[in-house]
Amino acid sequence: MLSNSGLAWLLASITFLLGIVLIIM
């Protein structure tokens, strides 16, 4: 199972990637 810290890191990385995509667009 994913730990709380692991889940938080995953959510942060996804948000970061979405931010980059929006900037490129």
Three-state secondary structure readout of 1-25: CCCHHHHHHHHHHHHHHHHHHHHHC
Whether pTM > 0.85 for this model: the answer is no
Burial track 1-25 (b if 16+ CB lie within 10 A, e otherwise): eeeeeeeeeeeeeeeeeeeeeeeee
Q: What is the mean pLDDT of residues 3-19?
A: 92
Nearest one of 21, 20, 14 to 6, comparing CA atoms: 14
Q: Which residue has the higher pLDDT, 3 or 10?
A: 10
Q: What is the mean pLDDT of residues 9-17?
A: 96
**Hunting for tokens 């995953």 — which residue is that?**
10
24, pLDDT greater than 90: yes
